[in-house]
Chain A
Amino acid sequence: MGVVQKVPVYLEKIPGGGLITTSLDAVLNWSRASSLWYLLFGTACCAIEGLMCTGASRYDYDRFGMIFRASPRQADLMIVAGTITNKMAKRVKILYEQMSEPKYVIAMGGCAIRGGPFYYDCYSVLRGVDLVIPVDVYVPGCPPRPESILEGCLKLQQKIKKQKVSDWSKTEKFIPEPK
């Protein structure tokens, strides 16, 4: 009866069982938000914290149904964990485009948000991953603690739960041009 507690339903008992009525939105969003498979993709120190430490048993992404995928084709979520250099930026965009819709992005750490410690005096670092791909949730920190990145994932789940099936055809996402 887990479903009954998670999504709004109308439940009617009939002899030999029950009838459940609910909305397609609620069921789809609930299942999407609870199975955010993330791309195993880290480029710097944040990957230690965001993907390895948080993925290990003390913090544990699996509690939220998040399992790492080593291929963008199977991933719903890209956690941009680490410094993105100008050279990597193109590869990030390719990886993002290879992911199948619906796809979400969490920018983790100062580097992915705005260049972080490499904002000044640097010739090679992209100042913010949102210059190349659209970002849903920003998690600041250098690096963010695992609690913060889990909080970011919960925020993303809340965002997903507000989506509507009727918006799907309209969701033409803004994809910036690479510099």
Chain B
Amino acid sequence: MTPEELTSKIKATFAEKVEELPAVTGIPAFKVKPEHLEEVCTTLVSDPELNFDNLPCLGGIDYPETNEIGVVYCLFSFAKRHHLNLRVIMPRDNPEVISVSKFWVAADWFERETAELFGIKFKDHPDPRPLLLIEEWDEGYPMRRDWEGKDFIRMPETGQEK
């Protein structure tokens, strides 16, 4: 499917459950509410025309200005050769979203990483252990923008940033 066809197909299928975002590098992007994610993912996987069989990337995204935090899902279909980005935005304190590892197995480790670095809880995750940080880590969630740890050294302002 071309990106335009995909956009109209998604809009027709999910109606007001999704909200269109500006496409990045030609890939259609949609915002999904956390409570609709399970239903949206089920359709994305099972619908024979959409057929999203692969999750190449899943990551966190932090917006301290609006006190929101999000998860980005980059989807790809080997069968139909089209891409789609989904974004789930949640309030920053105690964010929680369902685990999509029952739809895409690759999400297992991505979600472990995101949970540990951003502090996002993934409900019903099959193996919710930490993945990357040192074993005795207790300094919070380092990929949040306002994080500061014991050994953290912030880059001094040089006046050349912009």
Chain A residues with CB under 8 A of B134:
86-87, 124
> When each residue 77-114 of chain A gets 1 if its CB lies under 8 Å from chain B and 0 otherwise, what string results?
00000000011000000000000000000000000000
Interface residues on B, range: 10 to 19
Q: Secondary structure of the B side of the interface?
A: loop
Chain A residues with CB under 8 A of B156:
120
Which one, B17-25, B67-75, B147-155, is touching chain A? B147-155
A120 pairs with B154, CB closer than 8 A: yes
Contact of B155 among A86, A87, A121, A124 (CB under 8 A): A121
> Which residue from chain B places its CB closest to the CB of A86 in the assembled complex?
B134
Chain B residues with CB under 8 A of A179:
151
A119 at the interface (CB under 8 A from B): yes
> Which residue from chain A places its CB closest to the CB of B142 in the assembled complex?
A123
How far, in Å, is A91 (CB) from chain B's closest CB? 11
State the CA gap A1–B132 with chains docked (Å): 55
Chain B residues with CB under 8 A of A87:
132-135
B133 pairs with A124, CB closer than 8 A: yes
Chain A residues with CB under 8 A of B135:
87
Q: Secondary structure of the A side of the interface?
A: loop
Chain B residues with CB under 8 A of A123:
139, 142, 147, 149, 151-152
> When each residue 129-162 of chain B gets 1 if its CB lies under 8 Å from chain A and 0 otherwise, what string results?
0001111000100100001010111111000000
> When each residue 5-29 of chain B gets 1 if its CB lies under 8 Å from chain A and 0 otherwise, what string results?
0000000000000000000000000
> Which residue from chain B places its CB closest to the CB of A90 in the assembled complex?
B134
Chain A residues with CB under 8 A of B132:
87, 124
Chain A residues with CB under 8 A of B147:
123
> Which residue from chain A places its CB closest to the CB of B153 in the assembled complex?
A120
How far, in Å, is A178 (CB) from chain B's closest CB? 11
Chain B residues with CB under 8 A of A121:
152-155
State the CA gap A120–B157 with chains docked (Å): 11
> Which residue from chain B places its CB closest to the CB of A87 in the assembled complex?
B134
State the CA gap A122–B142 with chains docked (Å): 9
How far, in Å, is A88 (CB) from chain B's closest CB? 10
How far, in Å, is A113 (CB) from chain B's closest CB? 16
> Which residue from chain B places its CB closest to the CB of A85 in the assembled complex?
B134
Known: A86-B134, A87-B134, A124-B142. A119 touches B153 (CB 8 A): yes
How far, in Å, is B135 (CB) from chain A's closest CB? 8
State the CA gap A122–B143 with chains docked (Å): 10
State the CA gap A30–B153 with chains docked (Å): 45
Chain B residues with CB under 8 A of A124:
132-134, 142
State the CA gap A48–B133 with chains docked (Å): 25
A-B contacts, 17 listed (Cβ < 8 Å): A87-B132, A87-B133, A87-B134, A120-B153, A120-B156, A121-B152, A121-B153, A121-B154, A122-B152, A122-B153, A123-B139, A123-B142, A123-B149, A124-B132, A124-B133, A127-B151, A179-B151
Q: B residues touching A (Cβ–Cβ < 8 Å)? A: 132-135, 139, 142, 147, 149, 151-156
Pick the 10 closest A-B CB pairs, nearest first: A123-B142, A120-B155, A87-B134, A121-B155, A86-B134, A120-B153, A123-B149, A123-B152, A121-B154, A120-B154
